[in-house]
Each structure stands twice: as C-alpha cells, then as structure tokens.
Structure 1
Amino acid sequence: MVMPLRERQYYFRDYYDQGEELILEGQQLRCKLSSKFSMTQKLGSPLAEDGPVVIVEETEGGEPGQPANVTLELEYEATLKPDGYRLDISKDGKITMAASNKRGLRYGIDALHRLLGIEDGKCRLPVAAIHDEPSFPVRGIIEGFYGTPWSFEDRKDAVQYMAAHRMNTFMYAPKDDPYHRELWREPYPEDTFARIAELKQECDDHLVDFYYCISPGNDLQFRSSADFASLENKLAAMISIGVRHFALLMDDIDYELSGDNFHYLERSGLAHAYVANRVFTYLNSQLPEFTLAMCPSEYWSYWDTGYKRDIREQLHASIKVFWTGYSVFAPQIGSRHAQDNHRHYGHELWLWDNIPVNDADYDRLFLDPVRGRYSQLGRTGHQAVVANPMVQWECSKITLNTMAHYMWNSERYMPELSWELSVREFAGALEEEMMFFCRQNLNSQLYSGGYEELKEAVQSKDIDRLDVYFKHLESIVSRLLQWDNSKFKAEAGPWLDRALADVELWRAVRRKVTGTGGGNGNGDGDGKESAEPGSSAELRRRAEACQAFKVRLGSDPAWRAAEAWGLAVREGKSGYRLALEAEDAG
C-alpha cells in the first residue's frame, strides 16, 4: 500500500507532488546506482538483498541478474543539514538523492521504503520532490532511568528502532548499573564490557552515535589524582572500542561540598566545571574529534543562580549542558524558559526530556504522545533532544515514535496525529484496541486531561454507560492478551490483568448500588459476613484483588466509580480505600 498523501505531507518536512505515479514492473525497486556522493558505493543496513529496495550491481561477464527498473543517482550536497536529504522521483524512472552525510542517504533510502507500494507485481511510487532536514542535530534516547536496566537485547532493538525513526543517538546511562554510578571507579567485568562493545558495534552498523555516560559525583574527590586516574581509565577503555561521544552526569547528588572538596573548590558549580574541564582536557589529548556533554546538578529550573553563573563562566565553551525543563517532568517547555536558561548557562543546551520515563510512578505505564514542547526550540540554543524512556522498552515505543516526529520536525509536530500514526505502526490490525488501552494510561506527570468518557459517566452515575465502558475494556484487554507481540504482553501483562480486575470490581460496585445479585452485606446469621453477589464481602474481595496488584491503570476506572457512589475514598496520590465503616457499624 502506498503511503497516504496526508501522512506523506506530515512525515516529510517539504513534500511536493501533483498526483502522478511512477509504475514499474517487478516486486522490487531494483536500482541501477550512479554516485557522485563518494568513491565508495556501500550504503549499509537500509538495503537488503531480499528487501523491497535493492541495488543492482553491474557485472563483468557471467550471468546477468534481474535487470534494474530504475536509476538511482546519489549526490553530495554540502548545503543540506547533517542527516538531511533531498529526494526527487521523476516520471522517466530516475531517482535522485542528495545528502551531506551517509546518514542522510540512509534516511533517503528509508523514505523510498515508506513511499513504495507493491501491488499486482508492480512497484508504485509517487512522482514527488522531497526536501527533508531535521530540527535538531542530535536526536535520540538516554537510558537514564532508575530501576532495572534494559537487557542488551533491548538496547540493540532500541538502536535498530532509532535508526528506522530518524534518531541518531543512544546514550548509555542506566542509573542502577553499579559501574555507571556507585562503582564508577571500577572497570566493567569482562563479559559486561564485551556486551558494551557489541552494543557500540550495533550503533556503528546502524549509523547511530553511541554515548558513554558516567556519574562520579557522589564521592569523587576533586584533589585526588587516583580518582581522576580511575575516571580516565574508565574513559580510556571506552576509547579503545571506538567510543568518541561522552557525557559526565552530576545529577541527583548531594552537591553541597564538604571536607577537602569544600576547602579545595568551595562552590559546587565551580567544582563541577572543574571536573568537566579535566575530562575535556583528557579526551582532547586522546581523540582528534569527540563530543562531551555534562548534566549539572541544577538540571531543572529556569532562573539564574550562582551555580549556573559558575558553569557559564568556567565551563569549557565546547561542552554541552543538559537540562530537563523548568521541572524534572516539565508539562511545558516554552520559548521564554528555554531562552532564559540558555542565557543563564551560556552554553549549547541539550534537552534531557523525561518522557515517557515512569521511575517516579513504577505502578504506571505512560502511553500517550509528547505534548507541550516549543515548536522552535532549536532556535533557542538547543541542539539536542534525548528522551528518557520507561523500564518497559517495548511499551516505550509508542511515545518515542511521537518524540521522533517532534525531534525531526518540531515546527510541524501535531501530538494527536503523531499518536495516531505511532499506535497504528505499533499495533497494526489492533490499532483501535491499542489506542483504547493507551487512553487508559496517560502520563500523569505531564498531562492532567483525558478519560473524558469515563469522567462523564462517573459524574452522572450513568450505570448503563459504565456497563458499556467496562464491557469494552474487558473485550479490548482480551484481544490484546491474544496478540502475537509477546514482548508487549510480557511488559504490559500486569496492567492488562489489572484492567480485568477493575472490570470485576465495577461489577461488584454495580451489584452493591443496585441491590441486585442477592445479599445485604449484614452477615449470614452465623456472625460471618456473606460473600454473595451484591454484598459488602464481595466488594471487599474484589477491591482487595485490585489492591494486590502493584500496578494500576491511570484512569482508575472501577475505583472512580466506587468513589462516585460513596463506596470508596481517595487516599494520597494513587490509593483508594473502601468506605463501608458506617454500614459495618450498623
């Protein structure tokens, strides 16, 4: 199926066509390659011999293979931004692709994959011109959450996912990897280091930049030559496997100086600039080209401070600075806060966006799109956006796809449309079911809207509408549990099971408030409370079943219904308890 016009106009920055198609014989787009890009013709992983787009090699003697059905001409165009490309598909069977780097060529090939439709033994492409460039030079993921780090299999899948979605950066920074933070002085065990080297190679194979991040701030002694030697040894090991991109993370530490650190440097901003500058000097002595970013301890806020003044005045000009917005989880990142903080830090800013990370809400999944980011953030001194995902990698893909849309073309980004496209890509034939499930799991750290259908039914105590809602929830979950995406079911399984428990709690609430199902909740004559349908005992049993889960839906559907009828009260941020004491006393 050819990519719909509406999606083409959204996905590509500038897209032009007049409704014509290039129709070619064959089940593959077989390209005869002509290159003015470089003297080498290797395009890397975007092309596979059995894929829909292949390069037809010219042979000298021997049996010729299947003939080409199109000409692909590559051109080097220095005026294009890094990773950008220009693609022209003409009626005469010629495709011209221009880029200023190899990654741009890869994205151009990916664009052909997206545009190509194969039907009835024919290839169909729109006759079109595309000019596609990113809003941010650095776009990607930082594995920077608390909780169980991803497996290396998940990390490799993340690299492949990023490459397929025009993201170019993977930052290795798992908070609960002891060798990243607690044991930063210690070398990695051989087997772990070998897996990091494999991950670095995976990044290279997919044209994704691998960043090694280290977090020594909890106990680094600033006057200790041994500590700096340990830090340099850790970096040297990474340099030995080809790493050229690094980040020094001084976040989430007690940054008030004490003891010898205080006597030596006095102020934490001065100290952190000092450490980052020493790391920069070391890397500069080892590598002809490298990148260094640092995350300051004051990584959120929007006002000026003495700490920021020290970073502004003392930090080497080439070092990039992270921030997360005006709070750790920023509902909005607007132009004024972005401009102010760029001025306060005086360095190129990199947005560490805590979306869709759930390490402050381990009981929740966040499955909605990124919202509230300034459309022209790249014009306020920001050259990078990296998203911090959930522990649940597979479930993170839905939000990350919308992040990828924003990172590539922030000026045109539309959250609801991106969400629709991301859910469709993720779930395929189960798009409607997945979207309903996503709408039960919105990001409470960043968004206070949603659940309107449920809210209206609860507020009006409309039992019929609530019946329809919960039957729909039960049906949706049953279909998702039968889906062949085993990774999703393993990660989301506790939330799917919890949804079914909510359905049963609603039914107990319904029987209680309507008096159906028998039982009056006042015991069975033996001093024992009846557990018949409609009784308080049944309601308690279903409530306890929900509370036994360590997870919950963001919509909290059954508890909200119970609260509406005075059968439950909210306790704290996410808890409820039954309110049957008066009845029990009677």
Structure 2
Amino acid sequence: MKILSGGLTMLMLGLSTTFAQSVQQNNSPVSPATLPSIFPAPVSVKLGKGAVVWGNSAVLVFSADTDPEAVKIVRSSLKMAGVQNITTTTKLPSVLDRPYVVLGTGKSALVRTALKRTDAALDTHAEGYTITSEVTGGGVLITLAGKDADGLFHATQTFRQLAQRQVVPALEIQDHPAMPIRGTIEGFYGAPWSMTDRTKHLNFLATVKANTYIYSPKDDPYARDKWREAYPAATLKELAKLVETSRINHINFVYAISPGPTVCFSDPADLKALELKFDALRSIGVHSFYVALDDIEYTKWNCERDKETFGPSGPEAAGNAQSFLLNALQANLKRKDPTAPPLIMVPTEYYDAKESPYKAALRKKLDPQIVLQWTGTDVVPPAISVRDAKAATKAFGRKTLLWDNYPVNDYGESTGRLLMAPYAKREAGLSHELSGILSNPMNQEAPSRVAVTGVAAFAWNDKAYDAERVWHASARELSGGDARTTAALLTFFDTQRLAPTFGSQPWQEQAPVLKAVLDQVRDAIASGDVQARREAIAGLIKHADEFANVPDIIRAGVADSSFAQTSQPWLDAMQLWGKAFQLTAAGLNAADQGSVAAERYFASAKRFAADATAIQTIKGATRFGGAVKIADGVLDTFVADAPTLIAVD
C-alpha cells in the first residue's frame, strides 16, 4: 500500500513493498484525493489530508466479540482491492508501519482508542457508524466503528464501496439511517420468488443497508388459505434457512399471515391458531410478526360470533374487531418475547388518508405500539408528499410504515413491463412523518433491485437522495463495476422506465433518453439543413448499433446471471427492436441519398418490429402475461414514422 501525504519528502519505511510508503503528493503519479460517491448517501463525509493507494498488505484489528460477517466483508473487500497479505491481531500498536483496519462497536475499548487517535467521535444513533482513515507517519489507520452491531455491519458495506476505488482519501464519515424500517415486502400476486431468489435478495438488501424483509407471498397456502394449519416440517426447514441468512445480513425477517378472508375475530380458537403459528416460526428464529388484513371484505362477518360481539358488519365494526384481535396478539408477543419488535399490520383501508369510521376505530382502539402500513394516496401513488404522510398520521393516529407499490408489476396496467425507472417523486422530509418504507418488488427478483436500491437509499437519507445518481449506482452494482455493461444496463433501463398507475396516466414517462435522441433526429430532418440532417442520421446509425448490442452485452457482462434469465423476453425483444432500429437508420440514410434501397430497409425494419412485438412474457411468471413492451410509444412510433420523414423520388 502507498500513502499519499502532504509532506515534502519521500520516506521509505521497512524493507518490503508490502509496508506502507509515504509519497510526496505533488510528485505522485496518482490523482489528488477526491470526495467518494457512497450509496446510500451518508449523513456526513469530510476529506482529510492524504490518501491511500491499495497495495498488497494490511492488518485487521478486532476483538473476539466482533461480528464474524463484518470481518468477512472487510477481508473480502481488501482482497478485491488487490491486498493479498492480510493478517489479524487484537491489539493496535502505538506506531504503525503499515495499514491497520480496526473494526468493532463503540463498546470495544480497542475501537474507542482508535477513534481517539483520529480525533473522531462515534455516531450515537441506532444503526449508526463512524469511519475514519488517517495517514499516520509510515502507516495508515482505518477505523470502522458501529454504534451497535447493525451499525458496524453498515460500516463494512460503506468500506466495501470505498475499497473499490484505487485511491481512498483520508476522511471521516458520520452516518446513520433517517428511517428505522427500510426494505421490502414480498407481497405481490402471481409466481412467488424461489428460495434461491429470496436468499439472493437478502444478500442484496444488506449491500444497500436495508434492515427489513417481510415474507408475505400471496400464494403461500399456510399463510393465507390454510393459515390455521401447521407448516410441513420440510417447509419450515427451508424458512429456517432464510431466517438464518437474514440474521447474518442484519435483516429483520418478518413473517406475515393473512387470515382475513376466513378469520373469526372474536373466537379464542382463531386467536390460539395464530399464536401457535407464531410459536412455530419463533422456534426457527423469527421474532417479528405481521398480520395482513388487506384485500378483504369488511361488509360481512365470517362468523355469527363476531356479529354478536361487535354488532352489524361495517367499516367501524371491522376496525373494532381487528383491533380486538391484534391487541391480543400484541400482548401475547410481548409476554413470550419482551424484546420482540411490535406487531405490524396492514389495514383494510390501506390506500388513502381520508377520514372514515374504519380509520377512526383503529385510531381509538388499536394498541399504539402496533405498526400500521399505508400505501400512500392510492394503491399505486404517482407521488407521495410530506403533507400526504401527515394526513395519514392524523387519520390512523400514528406514523405509518409506507408500503410503496413500486416496482411491483402484478396489475393490469403493468402487463408486459419490467419497472426499472428511478425511485422518484417521494418528497424529502418524509423521514419525519413515516416510520419507514418497504418496497413491494416485482415477481422478477434481480430486476427489482434497480428500484429497491432507490427505496433503500431514500429511506436511509431522504434529504440527500438523488434519484438519477442512485439509478446509475444500481446499474454499476448489477454490472459488477464494468463500465460497458453499466452503460448497456442504463440503456435497457430507459426502455423500461414507464411507471404506470391504476389509471391511464403513468407517473414516469417511457424512454426519455431515447426519445431525446429520436426527437433531435426528427428536428434535424425537419429543419431543411442538409449538413445538420446528415450529421443527425450519422449519429442515429451509431446510436442504433449501440442499442442493438445492449442485450448481448448484458447477457455476457451482468454480475448475477439471474438478471439476464428473468429479463430474457425483454432482452430478446430488445434485440429484435435493435435490428429494426438499425434498418430504420439505414433507411433514412438511403432516403437522404435518394436511393430506392430505402424502401427495402424500411420494409425489413417493419418485419423485425412485428416479430419483436409478438414476444410474450414468461408464462406464469407474473399475474398478467402478455406482449413484452420495449420503449413503447417512442421507438415503435419512430420506426413507423421514419418512411414518411424523407421523400425518395
């Protein structure tokens, strides 16, 4: 490792190149230290003096009680940075002759000593952490200090990003999450994720500093239709593996049950059945539970006993009945596990903040500890403001946990789409009005990571959130840092940028980047300027070639092959659209030169476009299958219009 300092001389320490070197900054071939990009954005990052260039030696310093997974991540990050000789110790020497990485929580005297040596204070917020790196003579001291075990784990994820840089500046990071609950709820209709998908997703959530995963697949019969029945031993064993993966990744695994269609709220037997189900899950390590009462009727009772107990059916009676059952469950949870997180519920009226008898009943009767979910101003809201969240707080009598129905694609308006627009139109400041945000992802796990990265980044630091920059960061992660694959992914994302709602007006438009290119070509042709037209067509030919190559670049370069597998119909369709695009560009070029070959090019483009339009989604993968859509309304319109733009004699 080399250390770039502001000193005036070069001092070689040690007899081996594995030791640290102090290098005169002005004469160094390495570029100056620069502020790193970290996602989610930290609360504070301050540059110090000097920087570190990774070499092949480092020492890890940690106590016996340090999270083994945190140590593993740091070690792996150093290896990826090219550091081959990594040794460990439990003591920090007074004089450093090489790079030392100290990690642990603020409870550790070792960590407190390291922070003191760099004049840094520990971030004291829950899940908070402090990272310092400082050039000290012939060595460098890097400290990863967590307020708690979760904070330390988050610190290692930031370190992983820092270690990807060739030059790591001396700096101090103070960081903690704005919202206490951040993650996903597997709550979509249609084909559920496989256990492999879920494992990959939990590993991914760790990298974006999420802390919650709710297991709520709509077609798990033992959580819905057969909720009173015990899980088969084999299924419980598989769930136990997910719970352990969650624990390793510092993710709170929440088990959700959906008894609403058949439950008798006042029946002690049904309360007992729910408690027994929770006991079984608790035996495999689950400590957090959830009751879903969405998408059910509350205008009729499931049993006469409820009518006798709560009166005639209706919204207010439903709120009273639900509160009665959930309060009993919450009390039971606290008796059996006093440290367990509060029960979470999703109400029957989950999609607006309007005052109603049902909400009033929950506000008055539901235990205030119970966390309540809310989807915003609609089932799929086009935007969510601070004012909206305040209205929900008033209506439900508590801060709500936002169930954000993005990027879920299990409804009719999303048919044929992957939803991969940036996570946007959520107002900064929501962290003051919400208890957290959970994204409802797509049936396609790996493509869902694009939007979920944004959700996690917003929930971590909504004030510093930049939707476009985080969108680009998600592409870099999926590409494994390869620039060519990153560019290809962003082009692909652009063709899937339309974000629909339950109405006719989408909340994000389709393919704005591609549209800008095509609009510029239209304008150049319409201007009548020969030179401008020819330059625009030449640029279009290049752009079409790049577009056509995107699917192959993604298939070969994406870090997780499951992204290409679940996106296969869209990549196949894009390849055909790419050929149609190339032929359209060739047709415009021929037309501009007065060649009759233009007609053949346009005719071939039309055939490829028809073939692309015929490609269907994977059967059974989503709730609604249908024709795959690629930059619809943009590329198809241009291909159709192109033959009319330039007359051929």
1:140–1:167 Cα contact (<8 Å) kept: yes
**What residue is the counterpart of 1:27 in the other structure?**
56
Shift, 1:52, TM fit: 4.2
Shift, 1:184, TM fit: 1.5
1:27–1:118 Cα contact (<8 Å) kept: no
Mark the CA change 1:27 to 1:231 in structure 2 (over 3 Å): closer, same or farther: same
Counterpart pick for 1:547 among 605, 609, 614: 614
Give per-residue Cα distances to partners, 1:306-326, cap 9 Å, x unaligned.
Answer: 111011001001001100110
Give per-residue Cα distances to partners, 1:69-88, cap 9 Å, x unaligned.
Answer: 42626423897111111222
**What residue is the counterpart of 1:81 in the other structure?**
125
**What residue is the counterpart of 1:572 in the other structure?**
none
Mark the CA change 1:117 to 1:397 in structure 2 (over 3 Å): closer, same or farther: closer
Instruction: Describe how 1:42-121 pairs up with structure 2 within 5 A.
Output: 42-48=66-72, 51-53=76-78, 56-57=88-89, 69-70=99-100, 72=102, 74=104, 75-76=106-107, 80-92=124-136, 93-116=140-163
For residues 519 and 249 of structure 2, the distance between their equivalents in structure 1, rounded to whole angstroms, comes to 48
**What residue is the counterpart of 2:419 in the other structure?**
366
Matched, 1:421 2:473: yes
For residues 541 and 399 of structure 1, the distance between their equivalents in structure 2, rounded to whole angstroms, comes to 30
2:157–2:209 Cα contact (<8 Å) kept: no
1:516–1:534 Cα contact (<8 Å) kept: no
Shift, 1:350, TM fit: 0.5
Shift, 1:135, TM fit: 0.5
Mark the CA change 1:71 to 1:388 in structure 2 (over 3 Å): closer, same or farther: closer
Shift, 1:389, TM fit: 1.1
Instruction: Describe how 1:518-537 pairs up with structure 2 within 5 A.
Output: none
Mark the CA change 1:142 to 1:509 in structure 2 (over 3 Å): closer, same or farther: same
1:277–1:316 Cα contact (<8 Å) kept: yes
Q: Compare 322-331 and 443-452 and name the one that shifted more.
A: 443-452
For residues 144 and 516 of structure 1, the distance between their equivalents in structure 2, rounded to whole angstroms, comes to 55
Uncovered stretches (5+) of structure 1, i.e. residues with no partner: 60-66, 520-531, 568-586
For residues 141 and 127 of structure 1, the distance between their equivalents in structure 2, rounded to whole angstroms, comes to 35
Q: Secondary structure at the match of 1:129?
A: strand
1:167–1:404 Cα contact (<8 Å) kept: yes
**What residue is the counterpart of 1:333 in the other structure?**
384
Counterpart pick for 2:291 among 233, 243, 248: 248
For residues 615 and 161 of structure 2, the distance between their equivalents in structure 1, rounded to whole angstroms, comes to 45
Mark the CA change 1:19 to 1:444 in structure 2 (over 3 Å): closer, same or farther: same
Q: Secondary structure at the match of 1:351?
A: strand
Q: Secondary structure at the match of 2:222?
A: coil
Matched, 1:132 2:175: yes
Shift, 1:284, TM fit: 2.4
Q: Compare 1-10 and 166-175 and name the one that shifted more.
A: 1-10
Matching residue's letter, 2:201: A
Matching residue's letter, 1:30: V
For residues 296 and 396 of structure 2, the distance between their equivalents in structure 1, rounded to whole angstroms, comes to 19
Q: Secondary structure at the match of 1:411?
A: coil
For residues 461 and 492 of structure 1, the distance between their equivalents in structure 2, rounded to whole angstroms, comes to 35
**What residue is the counterpart of 2:551 in the other structure?**
477
Matching residue's letter, 1:181: R
2:35–2:169 Cα contact (<8 Å) kept: no
**What residue is the counterpart of 1:580 in the other structure?**
none
**What residue is the counterpart of 1:237 in the other structure?**
280
Mark the CA change 1:207 to 1:541 in structure 2 (over 3 Å): closer, same or farther: closer
Q: Secondary structure at the match of 1:355?
A: coil
1:56–1:68 Cα contact (<8 Å) kept: no
Matched, 1:496 2:575: no
**What residue is the counterpart of 1:523 in the other structure?**
none
Mark the CA change 1:253 to 1:454 in structure 2 (over 3 Å): closer, same or farther: farther
1:331–1:371 Cα contact (<8 Å) kept: no
1:458–1:564 Cα contact (<8 Å) kept: no
**What residue is the counterpart of 1:453 in the other structure?**
516
For residues 160 and 473 of structure 1, the distance between their equivalents in structure 2, rounded to whole angstroms, comes to 31
Shift, 1:125, TM fit: 3.9
Counterpart pick for 1:353 among 404, 408, 416: 404
1:29–1:52 Cα contact (<8 Å) kept: no
For residues 143 and 271 of structure 1, the distance between their equivalents in structure 2, rounded to whole angstroms, comes to 26
For residues 147 and 13 of structure 1, the distance between their equivalents in structure 2, rounded to whole angstroms, comes to 39
Give per-residue Cα distances to partners, 1:333-366, cap 9 Å, x unaligned.
Answer: 1011111111110123111111211112241011
Shift, 1:7, TM fit: 0.9
Shift, 1:117, TM fit: 6.0
Q: Secondary structure at the match of 1:385?
A: strand
Q: Compare 90-99 and 72-81 and name the one that shifted more.
A: 72-81
Mark the CA change 1:230 to 1:313 in structure 2 (over 3 Å): closer, same or farther: same
Uncovered stretches (5+) of structure 2, i.e. residues with no partner: 1-29, 79-85, 92-96, 108-120, 501-506, 526-535, 617-626, 645-649
For residues 262 and 195 of structure 2, the distance between their equivalents in structure 1, rounded to whole angstroms, comes to 28
Q: Secondary structure at the match of 2:416?
A: coil
Counterpart pick for 1:301 among 352, 361, 370: 352
- The aligned length equals 537
Shift, 1:414, TM fit: 0.7
Mark the CA change 1:547 to 1:285 in structure 2 (over 3 Å): closer, same or farther: same
1:354–1:387 Cα contact (<8 Å) kept: yes
Mark the CA change 1:8 to 1:42 in structure 2 (over 3 Å): closer, same or farther: closer
Matched, 1:270 2:320: yes
Mark the CA change 1:554 to 1:273 in structure 2 (over 3 Å): closer, same or farther: farther
Q: Secondary structure at the match of 1:47?
A: helix
Q: Secondary structure at the match of 2:569?
A: helix
1:459–1:564 Cα contact (<8 Å) kept: no
**What residue is the counterpart of 1:582 in the other structure?**
none
Q: Secondary structure at the match of 2:56?
A: coil
**What residue is the counterpart of 2:227 in the other structure?**
184
Give per-residue Cα distances to partners, 1:481-507, cap 9 Å, x unaligned.
Answer: 333542121111100111233345567
For residues 544 and 94 of structure 1, the distance between their equivalents in structure 2, rounded to whole angstroms, comes to 60
**What residue is the counterpart of 1:573 in the other structure?**
none
For residues 270 and 45 of structure 1, the distance between their equivalents in structure 2, rounded to whole angstroms, comes to 45
Give per-residue Cα distances to partners, 1:517-550, cap 9 Å, x unaligned.
Answer: 699xxxxxxxxxxxx9877x99578526523423
Shift, 1:509, TM fit: 7.9
TM-score (norm 2): 0.75
Shift, 1:460, TM fit: 5.8
1:350–1:385 Cα contact (<8 Å) kept: yes
Mark the CA change 1:4 to 1:148 in structure 2 (over 3 Å): closer, same or farther: farther
Counterpart pick for 1:316 among 344, 361, 367: 367
